[in-house]
Structure 1
Amino acid sequence: MPIRLKNARILMYSHDTFGLGHLRRCRAIAHALVEAFSGLQVLIVSGAQIAGAFDYRARVDFVKIPSVIKLRDGEYTSMAKHMDLSETLRMRRAILLDTARSFRPDIFIVDKEPLGLKGEAEETLAWLKAEGHTRLVLGLRDIMDSPQLLAAEWERRGNLPKIAQYYDDIWVYGPRAFHDPLAGLPVPPEVRARMSFVGFLKRRVRARTGLPQAPARPPYVLVTSGGGGDGAEMTRDAINAWRLAPDLPHGVIVLGPYMPAEERAALTRLARGLPVEIIDFVPKMEELMAGAVGVVCMGGYNTWCEVLSFDKPALIIPRRVPREEQLLRATRAAELGLAMMLQPEEAADTPRLVAAIRALPGLPPPSASGRAPELDGLANIAQIVGDWLKPDRGEPLMRRAG
């Protein structure tokens, strides 16, 4: 039974300039919390273009701020052609601050970017800190980037002093034994003391009640590049594998909503006549993941959590620019025997990729390695939140060590 919390409120901020990872992570946390606590309200402020394409549980809602996209060279631009970036950022900053002032959250959770996109969340952090009624939490994925790239970026933005100034707690959405996202950075002891490694976020399929069942498919390999904005190369390599070897298991290929239209059209043409199903976007990726006999992916955070949650043999083909996050995650997964990895140039060798896809359904799942990390992040977050919002439960505030 959920624990009753009277009128508790959590505000989440997800800057969302590239892909779906930030919003999907916030949404998973929000849904777990409203399941655990009746009376709790969660509001997500998101810049994702397609925030409204997902379903949200009762007592979870979102505020859409104007979208900004990250270009391949690392720069940003406004999605609204008639509005320059500075004007868009002013609007986003104002909406976030006004939302915090009117919603008055008990907890404010910021995803990944300590100060928000180009510092847009700092005014909100400063106001909430001065008010003194809100617990301020920074949520970091298991791997942010290579230490040298992250250190340079955070030094340029002054992130570590600002984290010490504003945040009460830092949640790492992974176990310490898998990776430390701030390894190699000069993290002050007072910041380290606020870090909790809560664990990976387990995903599950919600039971369908009164809804038509999804159409039956033959045993299939799922190919997904997440949001798809930088997934055309991997997807093309995968389609070429089926072109060379049409006797491979049936393929279900999800292009992703952010794949450019011309690339989407070219890949759809390339796959014509092959034993593959091309899907533009699915809001419930968990259902496709659960039914797959194997997964080919790029190794983004949410996809990796789904691979572990549904215990699927996986082949990871990570991107290496502009961040090395996926490369580091894939390398670590391969070291632990949790997944196979091919570098992008190796996956471009079509016979080699054919062999890897053909082997996927027969490979042992991650759990068979004996080294699969626990997926207790959502439960641990719920316990921490319950301790903060209802301290008379008599349980100590949990600080995860690994």
Structure 2
Amino acid sequence: MSLRVLIAVTHLLGAGHLARAAALARAFAARGHAATLVSGGTPSRLAGLENVAFVQLPPVQTVGTDFKTLLGDNLAPVDEVYLDKRRALLLDTLRTARPDILITELFPFGRRVLADEFATLLDAARRMNPRPRVLCSIRDILVASSKASRVAETHERVLRDYDAVLVHGDPELVPLEASWPVDERVKPLVRYTGYVDENDAPMPLAHRHGIVVSGGSSAASLPLYRAALAAAQDIADRPWRLLVGRGVAEAEFLALRESAPAHVTVERARPDFRALLSGAEVSVSQAGYNTVVDLLRCGVPSILVPFEAGKETEQRLRAERLAALGLAEIVPEAELSPQHLAEAVRRGLARRPSPAPTISLDGADRTVIEAESLVSSGPALHRTIDWSPLDLALDRARDQGVPVRFWWRDDDAVADTPRLDRLLELARRYDAGIGLAVIPEKIQPSLARRLASEPKAFALVHGWSHADHAPDGEKKAEFGPHRPLDRMATEAERGLHLAREHLGSRLLPVFVPPWNRISPDLVPRLPGAGFRGLSTFTDRKSARPPPGLVQVNTHVDPIDWHGTRSLADPPLIMTALAGAVERRVTGDADSEEPIGFLTHHLVHDDVIWALCERLIARLAARGIGFLCPDAWFGLEIRSHLKSNGV
């Protein structure tokens, strides 16, 4: 599969955003994809783009932390004519590249000052046939607006225009929620790629020596350089090296070099920075994304002076996470002085280098894999599905004071498998209860071990062997009216005992007949076999289940069993969900019965998984969770378990 990929980025202050976007472009090209990189920021030296089509828009930049005023090459504010030229070239590039994948860097989570430009690009992409997959590329930490309306606007833009949000970070270090209030509806679109780092970890030098000071590519690091030169006066027994970014004006750079003492080298940033860092005793730097990736690779004791001007919080949060891991000491920007910096460097010299933590650093390659997977997984589900029937039904239920509850049943589990792990991880992510209908004759020991760590997952008894005993030409059934009643009652009881031997307290005495079909004559025999619950499909016929049983059915199955065996037609799924809600509102179904969502994890493809997660997330955003299984069937089951000493 060879894809056409278009990446649009505009860096306004430093070059970190551009460097990360360029790394992604190189990774796509290395996998044989046709990559186009469009940069709207100040021209910067980029290496290794021989196989990438590069387009430079009329550049814009900002000064300091004034991100609302766009300046051109001459540092004068740009006008609409200038911005129109950018938009025209951007759209021309889109038409020429005809991408299968369009990636916008940071927008819509940032770059509001360029919102019209990005909106024009997205609108044009939406009208293309075929329409490209649209991905958002963001760093590990964002700066959220203090206005809830702007955050909501971002989420609505994501839901309308994007297929995925690629977070170039590792939640083990810092989850996106630490810096951005992630909407439950957006959460299913979030994909962590790991940190973007194109370089292999260098071999640390046998003998580390000296202090390396770096400040990224912008002039915002000048206070750090000046403080470091003064601190070096007090620590003269080590060589110092100041690496000054290209964003610092030549006059300022020369002034730094001229004021440096003899044991301090001041030079422009070098391509072998990683090697220099790996041989240093201490690193002094800000806490930008790329710098932190270097520090994670090298494990050098670090002094971090995070950039915090203009109420910036990104670098401070990242620095705090590293400090919590014992990898760095923080000198707040407001407290930066030669004395404080020198004291921190001395403490750093006394510390031993820390082993690098197990943080994912293969973000570029993972980004390509995620993009390939999205293209190969079929239509963009969240943009093609119309949720309004379900939303309207839930609104009516709320307005009329009718509580709507959901539960989740998944059939055919027998062992701990990667697919079961994915199912349980999804349930855990949304704090959802789930009932696993397990096939007694096929249960493997690994299933009990897996369920022991899942407090909201319980097993139910899924027949005996899931064997079809129906005559030819009739619908499949294991416990249908075609078999002797005594034999079926014996098999059901046998299944309950065997499942309990394997699963103990993780099993509820609930019978789930395979294919949801059961002989009416068998139902009254279930309590005598030890069952206290029954679950099939469709609304139960009566508010009063058979004596001795609590019946809670399922009502919506997202799989097209008689066609593609992939996702059923989304409008049909929405109609089924909305109908189940409406029947509880109108009284056509027992309003006390939770709506059952039925899945089969062993046959799910990516499109089915996506629908499941987006439905669960959408309900969670309304405060509707999936009931824990031991609450579905009421006090009768719990009293039964207690009386049996379980």
Shorter-chain TM-score: which interval?
Answer: 0.7 to 0.9
Equivalent residues of 1:225, 1:298 under 8 A apart: yes
Find the partner of 2:119 among 118, 122, 141: 122
CA 1:186/1:330 → structure 2, altered by over 3 Å: closer, same or farther? closer
Higher Rg of the two aligned structures: 2
Q: Which residue matches 2:210?
A: 220
Deviation, structure 1 residue 173:
0.9
**Is 1:69–2:61 an aligned residue pair?**
yes
- Which residue identity does 2:124 align to in structure 1? W
**Is 1:231–2:224 an aligned residue pair?**
no
**Is 1:196–2:194 an aligned residue pair?**
no
Q: Which residue matches 2:166?
A: 171
Matched residue SS, 2:220: coil
Taking the aligned partners of 1:168 and 1:365, their CA distance within structure 2 comes to 41
Equivalent residues of 1:143, 1:181 under 8 A apart: yes
CA 1:221/1:354 → structure 2, altered by over 3 Å: closer, same or farther? same
Taking the aligned partners of 1:254 and 1:59, their CA distance within structure 2 comes to 29
Equivalent residues of 1:204, 1:309 under 8 A apart: no
Deviation, structure 1 residue 12:
0.8
Q: Which residue matches 1:211?
A: none
Q: Which residue matches 1:314?
A: 302
Deviation, structure 1 residue 64:
0.9
Matched residue SS, 1:334: helix
**Is 1:360–2:355 an aligned residue pair?**
no
Find the partner of 1:257 among 243, 246, 252: 246
CA 1:396/1:220 → structure 2, altered by over 3 Å: closer, same or farther? farther
Matched residue SS, 2:218: coil
Find the partner of 1:98 among 88, 92, 95: 92
Deviation, structure 1 residue 99:
0.6
Taking the aligned partners of 2:201 and 2:65, their CA distance within structure 1 comes to 39
Taking the aligned partners of 1:337 and 1:206, their CA distance within structure 2 comes to 20
Taking the aligned partners of 1:102 and 1:34, their CA distance within structure 2 comes to 17
Structure 2, unmatched stretches of 5+, are 379-604, 611-646
- Which residue identity does 1:112 align to in structure 2? L
- Which residue identity does 2:173 align to in structure 1? F
**Is 1:17–2:5 an aligned residue pair?**
no
Q: Which residue matches 1:49?
A: 42
Taking the aligned partners of 2:254 and 2:334, their CA distance within structure 1 comes to 23
CA 1:366/1:245 → structure 2, altered by over 3 Å: closer, same or farther? closer
Taking the aligned partners of 1:194 and 1:306, their CA distance within structure 2 comes to 28
Taking the aligned partners of 1:262 and 1:389, their CA distance within structure 2 comes to 49
Taking the aligned partners of 2:252 and 2:152, their CA distance within structure 1 comes to 34
1:23-38 matches, within 5 Å, as: 23-35=18-30, 37-38=31-32
Equivalent residues of 2:167, 2:190 under 8 A apart: yes
Deviation, structure 1 residue 121:
1.3
Taking the aligned partners of 1:185 and 1:83, their CA distance within structure 2 comes to 30
Matched residue SS, 1:78: coil
- Which residue identity does 2:62 align to in structure 1? K
- Which residue identity does 1:170 align to in structure 2? V
1:271-350 matches, within 5 Å, as: 271=260, 273-283=261-271, 285-322=273-310, 323-348=312-337, 350=338
Find the partner of 2:234 among 236, 244, 262: 244
Deviation, structure 1 residue 153:
8.7
Equivalent residues of 1:111, 1:138 under 8 A apart: yes
Deviation, structure 1 residue 16:
0.9
Equivalent residues of 2:201, 2:297 under 8 A apart: no
Matched residue SS, 1:379: helix
- Which residue identity does 1:98 align to in structure 2? D
Deviation, structure 1 residue 385:
2.8
Q: Which residue matches 2:157?
A: 162
Deviation, structure 1 residue 110:
1.1
Taking the aligned partners of 1:337 and 1:160, their CA distance within structure 2 comes to 35
Deviation, structure 1 residue 18:
0.7
Taking the aligned partners of 2:93 and 2:51, their CA distance within structure 1 comes to 16
Once the two structures are superposed, residues 73-119 of structure 1 have per-residue CA deviations (whole angstroms, 9 ceiling, x without a partner) of 51323223377343332222221111111111111111112275421
Matched residue SS, 2:211: strand
Length, aligned pairs only:
373
Equivalent residues of 2:65, 2:309 under 8 A apart: no
Deviation, structure 1 residue 169:
0.5
Matched residue SS, 2:38: strand
Deviation, structure 1 residue 386:
3.3
Taking the aligned partners of 1:76 and 1:127, their CA distance within structure 2 comes to 26
Equivalent residues of 2:12, 2:61 under 8 A apart: yes
Matched residue SS, 1:231: helix
Taking the aligned partners of 1:160 and 1:87, their CA distance within structure 2 comes to 30
CA RMSD across the alignment: 3.1
- Which residue identity does 1:225 align to in structure 2? G
Matched residue SS, 2:308: coil
Q: Which residue matches 1:380?
A: 366
Equivalent residues of 2:301, 2:351 under 8 A apart: yes
Deviation, structure 1 residue 324:
1.2
- Which residue identity does 1:21 align to in structure 2? G
Deviation, structure 1 residue 206:
10
Equivalent residues of 2:24, 2:364 under 8 A apart: yes
Taking the aligned partners of 1:50 and 1:293, their CA distance within structure 2 comes to 34
Taking the aligned partners of 2:149 and 2:19, their CA distance within structure 1 comes to 24
Deviation, structure 1 residue 29:
1.9
Taking the aligned partners of 1:288 and 1:396, their CA distance within structure 2 comes to 44
Matched residue SS, 1:172: strand
Equivalent residues of 1:175, 1:198 under 8 A apart: yes
How high is the TM-score relative to the length of structure 2?
A: 0.53
CA 1:90/1:206 → structure 2, altered by over 3 Å: closer, same or farther? farther
Deviates more, 1:18-27 or 1:159-168: 159-168
Deviation, structure 1 residue 157:
9.4
Deviation, structure 1 residue 224:
1.0
Deviates more, 1:109-118 or 1:319-328: 109-118
Once the two structures are superposed, residues 122-173 of structure 1 have per-residue CA deviations (whole angstroms, 9 ceiling, x without a partner) of 111111122243110111111112x5xx343971893222122111100111
Matched residue SS, 2:13: coil
Taking the aligned partners of 2:41 and 2:276, their CA distance within structure 1 comes to 22
